[in-house]
Every structure is written in structure tokens, then in C-alpha cells.
Structure 1
Amino acid sequence: MFAVAAVAQSATDPLAGLHVGELDEPQTPEDWVSVDVVAAALNHHDLWSLKGVGLPAERLPMILGCDAVGHDAQGNEVIVYPVVSSPGWGADVTMDPKRSLLSEIYPGTLAERVRIPAGNLVPKPKGLSWEQAACLPTAWLTAYRMLFTNASVSPGDTILVQGAGGGVATAAIQLGAAAGLRVFATSRDGAKRELARELGAIEVFESGARLPERVDAVIETVGAATWSHSVNALRPGGTIVLSGATSGDAPAKAELTKIFFKQLRVIGSTMGTREELARLARFVADRGLEPRIDAVLPLAEARAGLERMAAGEVNGKIVFRT
């Protein structure tokens, strides 16, 4: 089976451990199903796996990838929900301490076929292209839960999206604007600021810039570099929703005094549920949203996509076609 896998790991040269080519096809566990992949999307998670973050070396080789769409055994068009719960878990899977993403314990989606629990399939709306639907299961689902489950915002409220240009940030801008939120966005890069404006932000700013007004919620994925700015940008009683820390998780100032004095809420957010993915897919299709796609490449050119991601040259999602 043709697949993209991590066969070795290096923090300084992650692509040295990348394999693109034929691999032995994994077995399908009992009560799991096989999906013929049509399109799969790249995430920073894949780069981290090649760096040795979150993927123990003893699990190598590991097929990479969390996002995929394709056909099930009956020929239905489906979206793969990539979170796998532990046996017997019946509550919100994002609260399962033993949950995993595809490509952490079980082989991932950057392959001709992927195996998944039978309950992890979501119908692909007819209004979405394969490439658009492939963008949804990780970055877009994370942004959807941050906004509509955890941020406690309503149409007309103002949000700040830190680090415009990343997959989650880009999705949050598009989803927020489509839902009637007033979206501010920041980036160090001028081109990414203009992209944020094109995607629906009403105002864009350099990172750390003073805002014209306080916001109701901050979508935070950058971490240490923007933490103080996020706290200072909030109105009293506002909310920071945190789903990542790409610049590090140890800010110079924790801002505890401001957090308790202004009665701010800090909410951690991770991925989303299968039901949220189904609602997200319907929302994107019904609103005619077009997830920002940086490039569509053949799966055989996965190395080129990962090279662009490692260089920070990606605006939106990279999608591979099998």
C-alpha cells in the first residue's frame, strides 16, 4: 500500500525520517472499517511526529496523518473522525485521558486506505469538494469547538484570533465571520494579515499591537509570545480559549493578577467530538464556506508539502490526493 510514514525521528532534521512509498498494509482490527482515501490533509501534528513529539520511537514505522475523506465499503462518501477513544469510554471522547489521534497509536490517514472504528465516520455533505472536506477533521474541528462550545460568544460579539495564517487560526476567522462575529486578527507577517482580512477579519494588526477596543474572547494557539497581549485584550469577564502553544508554554508573565481582577476565564480546548464534526461539515456546506487551501498535491509529493510546512510557508491547509 502506498503511504507516507515516519520511520525515524529527529528534532533538528525531521524530514530525514520520512518515508514516501510502499508499506505493508496494516490489519483491520475487529469492529473497525476500512476507508479508501480520496484526499487527506497535512497538519503540524505530522511534523511533530517526525520530530519525536508525542510519538514514541518504539511505535515506528507509523503512517502519518489525521485528516481524510473517502469511500467506505458501501461506497458512501465519508469524513474520517480521527479521535480514537479507549475501550468502554462512553462520554465526551475529548475528555478521555487515554484517547489518541490517528497516527499516534493506530496508523494514520496519509495512505491509500485507513482503518477506523465503525462509529468514527461522518457523512460528507454533497456541497463540499473532497479537498474542502479533508480540511475539517483536525484544524477546523478544533476552531469550531473553540468558538461555539467554549468561547461563550454570540453573533455581534468581538473576538481576537492570534497568529493568523495557521490552520486553526485561519479556520476560526472564516467560521467566526460566517457566524456573525466581529473578528480581529494578528500576525507578524503582512501577507498573513491581508489574508486574514480576505477571509473575513474586520481589522488586522501586527502582533502585540494595541487594539481599538477590548474583545469578548481570544482564540489563542500561539502561547508564550502572545499570552500577555491576549489577557490585556479582553474585556472584564472575557474568555481566552487555548488550544496550542506553538511559541512555547512558559510566558514571561502569567498575568494572574489581571486574570483574577478582571474575572477572566481561561478555557483549554482540544479537538472536538464526532457530533461537532458532523455539525461543522453541515455548517460549512450550508454557508458555502471554502476552507483556505494553500496547495493540493499528489500524495507522492508529500515531502514537498512537509518541507513547506517546516519552513513556515503555509497559509491554510495542504491537501494530498491519492
Structure 2
Amino acid sequence: MRAVVLREFGAARNLRFADFPDPRPEPGWTTVRLRATALNWHDVLVRQGRYHSPLPHVLGADGAGVRVDTGEEVVIVPSLWWGEDDSAPGADWQILGDHQPGTYAELVRVPVECVVPKPAGLSWPEAAALPLVGLTTYRALFTRGRLRAGESALVLGAGGGVATMAVGLAVGIGASVVLTSSSATKIARARSLGASGGVLYTEPDWAQAAKERSPGGRGFDLVLDSVGSWRESIQALRPGGRLVVLGASRAQEALIDVRRFYFGQYDLLGTTMGSPRDFAGLLALLESRQVAPPIIDRVFPLDQAEQAQQYLERGDGFGKIVLAQD
């Protein structure tokens, strides 16, 4: 098969479109002929060597296509071997594309339990963009964050896939959402998706400015932090609010006022991509509520993965970036 092959960790220029061995049939696994593959920041970390993937390697966690054995149109659930405990993943858990060859390819092999029918009404790019960001955001908002109708949420970073998905899911259940961004244009686009407003995190005291946009100015019930700004995130919470942390794109360490934290009665909740039960919950929500499909920013051909990742790293987009195949 043809695939985007990484033979050396480093920059996006190390991605090469080349021949790669076809997946081998094995009991309990199935092979999917991919129609579209979505990019995630996780792919950049794999490319940089953060997960010590074997080389040569094929990146990619997200994809949608056709099962070779049955002809069924499917999406791939990239959370492998989570286990039976929904509170946290088991010792064998990994993300597709970490150590197993991923979806930047014509074919990918995954455990049978990691394919589900493609949701009706989604295009191939939208279906490919759903699994990782949808599963991660669903778990963050609902399984861990316990967000309910009538509550409010602040989401850090208006343009990323998590943020755009969070707006759709939260608004879909009847919650309100405010976002942060470095771009007024991205905030305006988020408002068109249903967000109630946003603030520029480049401005001083942005956390207080965000808090003032919460219902009654009391603070948010939940803050979704994928960047590592814990101190500011806590400042934007109401007393007893929940800080849900699912990334560290701008800071890997956080300094917080411990006394203020416990007097504020806050919850600090870590989360990652979720379990198969979380994904079932996501699909049920999509079927039962009016939730917008994943926002697609740009679609590149599979053989332009280098350019697609460079575009992702610039951070200029709004929504998901996808690699499409004929």
C-alpha cells in the first residue's frame, strides 16, 4: 500500500509518501480501506518522538473508510485496549498511531471492537474528524466534567478541533459556552456555531474578562483547559466549579494558590481520550440532539501530509484538517 511514512523523528519534512507493507490479517482484527484521515496535534507529538514509536512508522489516529471484509462504511475508534474500568484506562491502553501503524495510509488494521458504523449524514472528512476529538471532548465535558443543561462552560482556544466540538456538544444539550482565542475572527466564527461570546487571551486579565461574561458574572460551572493555564482557569470558575484539564499545549507545569483552591471548593479533573462506552455515549448524543457535524477547515490529498501538518502547526485554521483519498 501507499502511506505517509516517518523514518526519522523531527520536522514535518520527514514525512514521505512511500510504499509500506500491507496490514497482515489476524483473528480479532479488521482492515479498513481509508477514505479520509483527520489530523490531530497528537500526530505532531508522535512525529517529534514524544511517544517513542517504532520506526519506520505511519502516523494517524483518526480515519473513516470501508471494512475490507464486510464492505461496511465505518469510522475508527482510536482508543485501543482501554479496559473495563471507565474511570481510567488500563495498563495496555494506547492511541492508534502511537505504536500500531496509523491512518496516514490507504489501509489500516485495527481491533474489531474499534470500528463502528459511519454516522448517517456525515461526509467522509466529517466522519474521519469525529472520533478522537469527539471522544475526547465528550469525556471531558460529560463523563468527567458532568456538564448539564443550563450550566455554563469556558473553553480555552477557539480554533482547535476540541473547542469547535465542545461548542457543538455543549450547546446541543442546552449549556452556554464562552471561548478564548488570540483572534477576534475565530471568536466571531465560534459565535456563529452557537457560542455566546469570547475574549482575547492576549489581553491582560483575560480570565476576569471571561468571568464577567459568565451568567451573572459569578464564574463558570466548568472550564475546559487544553493549554495548561490552570491559574487563570481557576480564576474564571464559580465557587465549587470544575476545572477539566486535557492538554498542555502552552505550559506543562502549573503553579496555583493551594489555599485559594480548597477554599473555593473547586474540582480539578484530568482526562484523556475515552472508553468505548464514552464513544457510545457520544454517538447516542449525536442521534438524539441537534449537534453540528465536525467543522472542517481544509482538506489535503494524502500525499500532502507534510504541508497539512505544517498548516496545523501554524495554528491559523478553524476546525479540523483532513487528508482525503480518491
> TM-score, normalised on structure 2?
0.91
Q: Per-residue deviation at 1:320?
A: 1.5
Confirm whether residue 100 of structure 1 aligns to residue 103 of structure 2: no
Give the corresponding residue for 1:146. Answer: 140
Contact 2:23/2:31 (<8 A) preserved: no
Alignment of 1:47-196 (within 5 A): 47-56=44-53, 59-72=54-67, 73-85=69-81, 89-92=83-86, 94-196=88-190
Q: Per-residue deviation at 1:46?
A: 1.1
Q: Pick from 274, 277, 291 the counterpart of residue 275 of structure 1.
A: 277
Gaps of 5+ in 1: none
Q: Which amino acid aligns with 2:266?
A: L
CA distance in 1, matches of 2:100, 2:34: 16
How many residues in Structure 1 have an aligned counterpart in Structure 2?
A: 312
Give the corresponding residue for 2:15. Answer: 18
Structure 1 pair 280–171 and aligned structure 2 pair: CA distance change class (3 A)? same
Q: Which amino acid aligns with 1:61?
A: P
Contact 1:9/1:16 (<8 A) preserved: no
> TM-score, normalised on structure 1?
0.92
Range moving further from structure 2, 171-180 or 270-279: 270-279
Q: Per-residue deviation at 1:127?
A: 2.1
Deviations 1:81-135 (A, max 9, x none): 112117xx44339521331111111110111111011111111122222221111
Contact 2:38/2:128 (<8 A) preserved: yes
Q: Which amino acid aligns with 1:32?
A: W
CA distance in 1, matches of 2:48, 2:81: 25
Give the corresponding residue for 1:260. Answer: 262
Q: Please give the secondary structure, in 1, of the residue aligned with 2:120.
A: coil
Q: Please give the secondary structure, in 2, of the residue aligned with 1:197.
A: helix
Q: Per-residue deviation at 1:28?
A: 3.4
Identity %: 36
Moved over 4 A (4+): none
Gaps of 5+ in 2: none
CA distance in 1, matches of 2:323, 2:12: 17
Cα RMSD after superposing both structures: 1.7
Confirm whether residue 317 of structure 1 aligns to residue 317 of structure 2: no
Q: Pick from 230, 235, 239 the counterpart of residue 232 of structure 1.
A: 235
Q: Please give the secondary structure, in 2, of the residue aligned with 1:16.
A: helix
CA distance in 2, matches of 1:283, 1:112: 30
Q: Which amino acid aligns with 1:196?
A: A
CA distance in 2, matches of 1:318, 1:282: 25
